[in-house]
Amino acid sequence: MSYTALYRKFRPTEFSDVKGQDHIVTTLKNQVCADRIGHAYLFCGTRGTGKTTVAKIFAKAVNCEHPSDGSPCGACASCRAIASGASMNVIEIDAASNNGVDNIREIREEVAYSPAEGKYKVYIIDEVHMLTPGAYNALLKTLEEPPSYVIFILATTEAHRIPVTIVSRCQRYDFRRITTDTIAARLRELTEQEQVEAEERALAYVAKMGDGSMRDALSLLDQCIAFYLGQKLTYDHVLEVLGAVDTEVFGDFFRRICAQDLPGTIRELEEIVLKGRELSQFVTDFIWYLRDLLLLKSDQGMEEMLDVSGDRLLRMKEDAGLTDPDTLMRYIRVFSELSGQLRYATQKRVLVEIALIKLCRPEMERSYDSLLQRIALLEKRMEEGAAAAAPAWKPPAVEAGREADAGEPRKISVKALPEDIRRFIENFQELRKKAGSWQQMVLKGAQCRELPEHAGVQIILCKNHAIDENELAERLEQLAEQEMNVKMKVQVSTPDSDPRAADPVIDLSGFIDMEIEIEE
């Protein structure tokens, strides 16, 4: 037994089955009821939204012997003849393959003969934008003054390519993209008829992937059902068949990018690749995720625009709080550029990785928005740094400063610190330069703090490096002795091994090249 694709099997045969085009269906039904039928119609709109379907139902309705409420009865001789394709009254022409003057001339000659039975001869010309200029001219003549028993229905996805002379002679109907909800409801209806068990989420995802086109959604559903024939259709199955990634992954991915966790994002990408997911699809879906976050951030009222569940909405709001709109726009820009490049790329994975590096390391880009992000990051670091240092900043220095000069804004004197520690910190940059090339690099941007009870200094590297911390500490101790004649305990920590939380230390990094002013 041959198999008929879902979208053909379930082509609506009456107006009530046409979903999401109520504005058109109602008008056409009213015309049939009132017997005020036009002689030329132009149906335009996205692929798979019901243009051909509605044209056929309309052709049936105008010829039906006893239409009810403007819809064809489906039972009379005319309805049955049209449904079986045997009727001479409905002529379908595919303009993609019959686009010449001669094809249209044939129609003109035929039009002269009135229908043998029934009331109207209906010509449905699909893909009408494919006609040649000569054919358009030939059609124009017929469209202008067709015999009263002829109806033309021109269908196209590209209305802008139809000459205005043609458009102005037709009643124009714009078929809308169908909403995800409407498509999902239709899918539910059809899976029930087909006796296929399917999860709500699975159908919702397929509907969303249809992107407004009912036919696309039905084809995807067909594909999923075929892959898991006889089994319940789950969300995971759908993701697998369509090569898509679970939405949870996007949140995870986004949080890692915000934390600038490059190794983490690359690892996650690897997993996605290993699972055999389609990278272009992943990038597109991620752009949509970012877009949703941006909407959430822009306005309270935007929540309704997103079709996500309450739980997920909460998480997405948290995610949206991790960054600012400028940064989100930068992310969207980088990924949109990427999705353009991916189309023709052979090494998709590498391109995605480069984009991730760009996102995690704004300093690698020179564009305006990455500069903005770098400034925002610096500001954030300064804020955090200031907040962390302030409470820890207590007695000796402040008191000493107060006593020194009471009236004016106070300047904290670096001298208030134990002499050796002060000198070490003042000369830290010099020591760094002498420490050796890799040491110098590793120490770049490091912070100095006093160890509790003036025991020495702690150096906190700005990043995690795979180094022997003790060895580096010893090297610094050596240098201090050699260059400054100071014996000093030095402890080196990385952000991971930093024991700050456990034992509070005083942040002295502010003393380097900077005076601190305390306002009353």
Residue 48 beta carbon to ligand ATP: minimum distance, rounded to whole angstroms: 5
Which residues, 6 or more positions from 323, have their beta carbon under 8 angstroms from its beta carbon?
A: 258
* Residue 413, helix vs strand vs coil: coil
Taking CB under 6 A as the criterion, which residues in 214-253 touch ligand ATP? 214-215, 218
Residue 105 beta carbon to ligand ATP: minimum distance, rounded to whole angstroms: 25
CB 156 within 8 A of CB 45: no
Residue with tokens 């949140």: 251
The whole-angstrom separation of Cα 74 and Cα 14 is 8
Residue 496 beta carbon to ligand ATP: minimum distance, rounded to whole angstroms: 56
Residue 192 beta carbon to ligand ATP: minimum distance, rounded to whole angstroms: 15
The interface region with ligand ATP, picked from 204-212, 213-221, 294-302, 428-436 by CB under 6 A, is: 213-221
Q: Contact letters (x/-) for ligand ATP, 9-48, by CB under 6 A?
A: -xxx-----xxxx-------------------------xx
- Please give the C-alpha separations between residue 366 and each of 137, 287, 361, 476, in angstroms, as whole numbers: 55, 22, 11, 35
Q: What is the DSSP string of 447-487?
A: EEEEPGGG-EEEEE-SS--SS-HHHHHHHHHHHIIIII---
Residue 8 beta carbon to ligand ATP: minimum distance, rounded to whole angstroms: 6
Residue 59 beta carbon to Zn ion: minimum distance, rounded to whole angstroms: 11
The interface region with Zn ion, picked from 64-72, 113-121, 186-194, 427-435 by CB under 5 A, is: 64-72
Residues shown for the chain: 520
φ, ψ (nearest 5 deg) of residue 198 = -145, 140
Exactly one of 39, 41, 50, 71 binds ligand ATP (CB under 6 A); that residue is 50
Q: Which of 86, 64, 85, 84 is nearest to 75 (CA)?
A: 64
The number of residues that bind Zn ion (CB under 5 A) is: 5
What sign results for the dihedral spanned by CA atoms 385, 386, 388, 393? positive
Exactly one of 13, 31, 53, 339 binds ligand ATP (CB under 6 A); that residue is 53
The number of residues that bind ligand ATP (CB under 6 A) is: 23
Residue 162 beta carbon to ligand ATP: minimum distance, rounded to whole angstroms: 14
Instruction: List the single partner that 494 binds among Zn ion, Mg ion, ligand ATP, none, CB under 5 to 8 Å by kind.
Output: none
Exactly one of 76, 273, 451, 455 binds Zn ion (CB under 5 A); that residue is 76
Strands 447-450 and 506-507: antiparallel
The whole-angstrom separation of Cα 332 and Cα 290 is 7
Residue 218 beta carbon to ligand ATP: minimum distance, rounded to whole angstroms: 6
Answer yes or no whether residue 52 interacts with Mg ion by CB under 5 A.
Answer: yes
Residue with tokens 């379930």: 10
* Residue with Cβ nearer ligand ATP (49 or 191): 49
Exactly one of 7, 58, 286, 335 binds ligand ATP (CB under 6 A); that residue is 7
Which DSSP category does 148 fall into?
A: T
* Residue 432, helix vs strand vs coil: helix
Residue 68 beta carbon to Zn ion: minimum distance, rounded to whole angstroms: 9
Which residues, 6 or more positions from 332, have their beta carbon under 8 angstroms from its beta carbon?
A: 287, 290, 291, 294
Q: Which of 119, 125, 42, 51 is nearest to 87 (CA)?
A: 119
Taking CB under 6 A as the criterion, which residues in 276-315 touch ligand ATP? none
Instruction: List the single partner that 11 binds among Mg ion, Zn ion, ligand ATP, none, CB under 5 to 8 Å by kind.
Output: ligand ATP
Query: Which tokens go with 254?
Result: 């986004």
Site residues (CB under 5 A) for Mg ion? 51-52
Binding region for Zn ion (CB under 5 A): 64, 72-73, 76, 79
Interface positions with ligand ATP (CB under 6 A) = 7-8, 10-12, 18-21, 47-53, 155, 157, 178, 186, 214-215, 218
